[in-house]
Amino acid sequence: MFSIAECKYKKVYIDLWYLASLLELNGLSVTVPKTEDGRMSLPCALAYICGLVMYPEVDDFHYLVDKVPALYRPQFILCWEAIELEVDNDIVVWSEAAGTDAVVKRLRNLSKTIQLS
């Protein structure tokens, strides 16, 4: 388990802010990791923020964690866990149900909560 202090120390709030901006700019995909028009799923966007350089086939945690460069893997896991703890649900299920605007707003709020803790 991790703490808000650890998230603040590891600057998770910066990654969450970038993640919100990426999704706000491109839009949220609810069917595939990345659509032809640039929309991305929340897990796919998080993986890109954490160094993924290739197109992911799926947006499953176990697949993505293996594809994220080893240097950024701990940050990817920490961000994923922080989001799941915040929304109390799987991030794929939650993001698909919530939509782009709600996801962006929640990520920014989480980012600020961690930063100002």
Give the mean model confidence (pLDDT) for residues 10-18: 96
User: pTM (2 decimals)?
Assistant: 0.92
Position 25 scores a pLDDT of 95
Q: What is the pLDDT of residues 18-48, one digit of tens each?
A: 999 999 999 999 878 888 888 999 999 999 9
* CB-side neighbour CA atoms (13 Å) of 62: 0
Cβ neighbours of residue 39 closer than 8 Å, sequence gap 6 or more: 26, 27, 28, 29
Q: What is the pLDDT of residues 83-96, one digit of tens each?
A: 999 999 999 999 99
Of 45, 46, 18, residue with least CA distance to 34: 45
